[in-house]
Structure 1
Amino acid sequence: MVKAYAAQMASSPLAPFEITRRAPGPEDVQIAILYCGVCHSDLHTARNEWHNTIYPSVPGHEIVGRVVAVGERVSRFKVGDLAGVGCMVDSCGHCASCAEGEEQYCENGFTGTYNGPDAGGGNTYGGYSHNIVVKESFVLHIKHDEKELAAVAPLLCAGITTYSPLRHWRVGPGMKVGIVGLGGLGHMGVKIAHAMGAHVVLFTTSPSKAADGRRLGADEVCLSSDPAQMAARAGSLDYILNTVAAPHRLEDYLQLLRRDGTMTLVGAPENPHPSPNVFSLIMKRRSLAGSLIGGIRETQEMLDFCARHGIVSDIETIRMDYINTAYERMLKSDVKYRFVIDMATL
């Protein structure tokens, strides 16, 4: 049995729980979890806000740890290696998306690190636990210095969620890029877009975040609640990454794009955004898009990119038994900018 923390129902707090992990098979890697980031998706799932939770639910898909066992066919990992696990632990492996290394868009549905179902038809349990067993093809190498390991954990979701669209829409030098929101996702978007060489404009409703935004790599900070500041940037941006996970007026940001500009949504609100005016799109051939994490190949690329550029998440490390308080603080945006659980406290 493996110690974990689980929600038993939507209305119950997370509490100690024991789960069973499978014994490592020939292609499996067993990881002793050292740190696990806390994602807003964890809260959505624990409280069944997306109406698809399988209980008991053990959240956590920003996992870093040390390999403690490998199957006989495993070739890329050995005992003692640092390793990570992100949002997926399996996919069909044979559809067009999987064949192209885009497992997150698996046409038969990828298997989530938690809230499965797993290959045996049960429920997958995530990183709020002492260890995890994952097939080698879904395990990632960690190349950061070990002393940064806690701050690496959020890269497995927040990092790839922002890196993937920035990479897909070819953000780089000479581009003016907007990042909407400075939270767990937004602060990673600012860091990564800056490292890619873009001119970064942070949009926030919080004047108090301006200095932090510049520290993280923003070249400009725009208070989005100020109509004059927004109007001054109309038609000036090549690309916008919108990380806000609460309903808001997309129209206000579409107006900031140049002709042929794109705004990509990565936040997943509980309720829909108000529909934008179609003329905001058709008059400038603008695009409104969405993006979901990245495939395993791209996630490894992101981790390597972040290691080369010295990028980690800004974190607050917490004990496992603080998780319910952390959820309430997360709802109030009272964290800079990601909680990470020290699993030694479980």
Structure 2
Amino acid sequence: MKTVGYAAHSPTSGLEPYEFSRRKLRGNDVAIEILYSGICHSDLHTVHGDWGEQPYPLIPGHEIIGKVIDVGPEVKKYKVGDSVGVGCMVDSCQTCDQCHNHEEQYCREGMTATYGSEDRITGEITQGGYSKHIVAREEFVLKISDKLDISKAAPILCAGITTYSPLKTWNVKKGTRVGVIGLGGLGHMAVKLASAMGAEVTVISRSTDKEKEAKAIGAKAILSSRDESALEAAASSFDLIIDTVPVKHDFDTYTPLLDIDGTHVIVGQVGEMDEPVTAPLIMGRRRIAGSLIGGIKETQEVLDFCAEHNIHPDCEVIKPEQINEAWDKLQKENPSHRYVIDMTNLKVS
């Protein structure tokens, strides 16, 4: 299938229109016309080579909402016209213990990422959602409820599942005391989801400038990480901290905020962190953990949860020709919303 997307041709180049072809449908494939594609901070890190050398040209994007335009003969769950989504992965071995446990993101053979990975059959490099079309294996396509606004739903497929999964893993429920470090694209979704689960949510930020914004989406309070007296008063006050900061930072500011058996979960920074002082961990049986997106079953669960509770990411919808401008803002600023690319008028020549 001939199509077009916005590709980077080097770690330092901007994104520009790029014509390419999607594979012919296999028996279990779903062909999708992409309507909206979210921009994730990890798109920047990947394309810029922060996490290793990449294959170029590379089309990023793993927050994809579209409609089915064709299906392979073995497809049973979807038909032409269905509203669907594709998230951060498009394949896995489907045979290992992790895949059988519905945690394909931890596939023993390695999941196939939506972009920048080798196709498990042909070895071709996968290309992402900053494009007009995508072809994906049926098992990795997700149903989109008609209760969701499709122009705002795309970030649920990354920002949503990335924060929902640790909230579920650590059994967040009514009365759980949750701290969310950072109120950006990931952080604001963590606040919305945890609040809908009944948690008492506090945003932890460098200042209290976003207090009104935090409370408007469900937080009970905001705590400044630079206010030593406020930090001392908040000691042992959280059961779980979701850390969405995407750059190197220290643990020691936050560890004393955890209660006994509390957990600090990293979902933002992929790379080096400052070494923690272990005494607060040992003295409170506290722990530092990490979490990577979620499996397909859990991703469908968060989509349905958001539909049930009328939760949408805060989004700014842009045109494809504004992608580079949005990337620039994402690098220089700390927006508390997600950029979503409107692909509806992108034409294939």
Q: Give the TM-score range, shorter chain.
A: over 0.9
The answer to whether residue 287 in structure 2 is matched with residue 287 in structure 1 is yes
Q: 1:334 Cα deviation (Å)?
A: 4.8
CA distance in 2, matches of 1:318, 1:206: 29
1:332-343 aligned at under 5 Å gives the runs 332-343=332-343
Mark the CA change 1:224 to 1:235 in structure 2 (over 3 Å): closer, same or farther. same
1:191-230 aligned at under 5 Å gives the runs 191-230=192-231
Q: Deviations over 1:188-230 (max 9, x none)?
A: 0000000000000111114321110000100111111111111
Q: Which runs of 4+ in 1 moved over 4 A?
A: none
* Aligned residue in 2 for 1:69: 70
CA distance in 2, matches of 1:297, 1:72: 23
Counterpart of 2:272, as a letter, is P
CA contact (8 A) 2:248 2:269 kept: no
The alignment's TM-score, normalised by the length of structure 2, stands at 0.96
Counterpart of 1:132, as a letter, is I
CA distance in 2, matches of 1:197, 1:185: 19
* Aligned residue in 2 for 1:317: 317
Q: What root-mean-square deviation, in Å, do the aligned CA atoms of Structure 1 and Structure 2 show?
A: 1.1
State, as a whole percentage, how many aligned pairs show the same letter: 49
Mark the CA change 1:317 to 1:206 in structure 2 (over 3 Å): closer, same or farther. farther
* Aligned residue in 2 for 1:109: 110
CA distance in 1, matches of 2:218, 2:54: 37
Unaligned runs of 5+ in 1: none
* Aligned residue in 1 for 2:36: 35
1:77-156 aligned at under 5 Å gives the runs 77-119=78-120, 120-145=122-147, 148-156=149-157
CA contact (8 A) 1:320 1:345 kept: no
CA distance in 2, matches of 1:125, 1:134: 11
SS of 1:185's partner is helix
CA distance in 2, matches of 1:289, 1:332: 28
Count matched residues.
Answer: 344
Q: Deviations over 1:81-128 (max 9, x none)?
A: 100000000001111111111000011100000001112112100001
* Aligned residue in 2 for 1:301: 301
CA contact (8 A) 1:179 1:243 kept: yes
Counterpart of 2:279, as a letter, is F
Q: Deviations over 1:147-178 (max 9, x none)?
A: x1121000000000000000000001121110
Counterpart of 2:128, as a letter, is G
The alignment's TM-score, normalised by the length of structure 1, stands at 0.97
1:130-279 aligned at under 5 Å gives the runs 130-145=132-147, 148-269=149-270, 271-279=271-279
SS of 1:44's partner is helix
CA contact (8 A) 1:183 1:333 kept: no
Q: 1:53 Cα deviation (Å)?
A: 1.3
Counterpart of 1:45, as a letter, is T
Q: 1:333 Cα deviation (Å)?
A: 2.8
* Aligned residue in 2 for 1:49: 50
